[in-house]
Amino acid sequence: MGRETREMAREHPRGRTLLLACALGAYLAWENLYHDEGFLFLPGYLNQVESCVASYGGAFIACALIAGLRSSWRAHERRWLFGTALAQGALGLAFYGAVNVQAPAGIVGAQLLLSASFFVVLFFMMRALTALPLAHAALLIAGGIGLYGFLECAVWALALAMPFLGLRFALHLGLLVGAFVCLRAGSGAANAREAAPEPQNVPRRALPPALLLHTGAYWFVFGLTHALASGVIPMGHDKLLPCYLGSIAASLVFYLVFVRPENVERLWPKVRACIFPLTMLSFLLLSFALSGFTFVSIGFAQCAMDTYLAFYLLATLVVARKIGGSFTRTALTAALLAVPFVIGGVVTGDTLKTALPLSPLFYNVLSVIAFALLVAGTFWVGDDRRAELVWGLEKKLSPKRFEDKETADRCAQAAKTFGLTKREAEILLFLAQGQSAAAIAESEVIALNTARTHIARIHRKMDVHNQQELLRRLREV
């Protein structure tokens, strides 16, 4: 793709969205195929812990690189992407070399480094998406997830028809090249800094326990489902097709639920209405695989996991946009909230399936546990307003983070002029933002009457009677 194509992508947001969706889909398919083939090419592989830890554990290496070398990739992002692409091509060759000589340690090691490079590039891809309207980003993610399932299915069919390692490597390399070409043409690499400016001196906020419980519950259950699915059905080509179709179905579900602009702004209620029942149903259907309904149970499990993955990617963008903070910090936090729990679920599921017989009673007991975790992770946060605050989808206002410096300076000057206390000065900032007494009380976790008392004292000291007079008085300061 040349300069003209990139300029066209910049001028036409829909074209850019399509290119970035192709990049995301091809890249997800590229990474997941290496994960799947780690099982296909290891005869006698008794469990999937090593491969799953390698495939997800690379996120820790990626987070360390992104956080530790942020000044480098901000200054030389194109070089980072180009160097990562070259490294991924070499690592893919090393992976198939290990497959050829049947070296499990080499396969797992290559998977770990491929995973680390995958999460690095995924970070840059998602960072490029911050320049798009949220509705376009939701559409892009939906398209990317669907394309990922379609491309995996196509590569699987070709490789099944012509089972040569050289062909598999060529197909994977084609996905990698296609992903980077689309990313570059979509102006992701060129405009990432402009698309995602990193605010300086942004105060850190402690992660709410409810958010930890939610992400932990869902990703642990998905890891558990992933491990138990392998216990019910031996890893093979008959298991991969329902997985790929499940990814395509997830794209459709996500599109129908989240792609409308008003739904993007109200993510949390859709989690309760859609993702919670879908996840629970996917876990309950695992036991049906014992009765021969393998295709349905595996497809549902993949659909639920990919739907939540799409939601998680979108929520990361929304949180970074809503709280006005660093996308780097938000993205790294999202990765570190997910990966340990996925690995924990995989290890737990693998341990249980090797220690206990896979019977209907076994799945019934686990279903009760999974249901309790998902209920706690979904409903413990309280009502919609509280959930939005917990997720960061609605900003909990703080005077220290008020972005209008001029108004903040006026409020500080007014506090000195009219003799406001420190607490009254903080409340004045909220009033300058147009906040009501109820909103201030909720944000500051104080009683409504207390907020009203502060406001009444501010009005009396500034000799005003309502919000309009107060704002007029501030402009006069």
Would you say residue 310 lies in a domain?
Answer: yes
Residues 346, 282, single domain; the answer is yes
Q: State the pLDDT at residue 219.
A: 92
CATH for 214: 1.20.1250
When pLDDT is cut at 50, 70 and 90, the band that residue 323 belongs to is low
Residues 385, 242, single domain; the answer is yes
Would you say residue 82 lies in a domain?
Answer: yes
Check whether 5 has a pLDDT greater than 60. Answer: no
Residues 137-163, mean pLDDT to the nearest whole number: 84
Residues 279, 166, single domain; the answer is no
Residue of higher predicted confidence among 30 and 283: 30
Q: What is the pTM of this model?
A: 0.73
d(CA 193, CA 3): 19
Question: Which residue in the block uniquely carries the two structure tokens 């509705």?
Answer: 135
Residues 138-143, mean pLDDT to the nearest whole number: 89
Would you say residue 243 lies in a domain?
Answer: yes
Check whether 192 has a pLDDT greater than 60. Answer: no
In this structure, are residues 60 and 339 in contact, taking their beta carbons and an 8 Å threshold? yes
Phi, psi of 393 (to 5 degrees): -75, -15
Q: State the pLDDT at residue 203.
A: 47
Q: pLDDT for 33-91, tens place per residue? A: 887 776 666 554 444 677 778 888 889 999 999 988 988 888 888 888 889 989 998 99
Would you say residue 120 lies in a domain?
Answer: yes
In this structure, are residues 146 and 25 in contact, taking their beta carbons and an 8 Å threshold? yes
| Domain encompassing residue 28 | 15-133+148-189
> What's the mean pLDDT when you consider all of the chain?
77
Check whether 191 has a pLDDT greater than 50. Answer: no
Residues 57, 169, single domain; the answer is yes
Residues 81, 43, single domain; the answer is yes
Phi, psi of 307 (to 5 degrees): -65, -45
Residues 254-261, mean pLDDT to the nearest whole number: 80
Report the domain count for the chain.
Answer: 3
Q: State the pLDDT at residue 113.
A: 92
Residues 287, 429, single domain; the answer is no
Q: pLDDT for 79-105, tens place per residue? A: 888 899 899 989 988 888 887 787 878
In this structure, are residues 290 and 358 in contact, taking their beta carbons and an 8 Å threshold? yes
Residue of higher predicted confidence among 238 and 369: 369
d(CA 197, CA 76): 15
Would you say residue 142 lies in a domain?
Answer: no
Q: Any idea which of 143-152, 164-173, 197-206, 283-292 has the lowest mean pLDDT? A: 197-206
Check whether 401 has a pLDDT greater than 60. Answer: no
Q: pLDDT for 412-428, tens place per residue? A: 888 888 889 988 888 88
Check whether 278 has a pLDDT greater than 70. Answer: yes
Would you say residue 359 lies in a domain?
Answer: yes
Q: State the pLDDT at residue 42.
A: 57
Residues 275, 417, single domain; the answer is no
Check whether 150 has a pLDDT greater than 80. Answer: yes
When pLDDT is cut at 50, 70 and 90, the band that residue 298 belongs to is confident
Q: pLDDT for 9-19, tens place per residue? A: 444 556 777 88
Would you say residue 249 lies in a domain?
Answer: yes
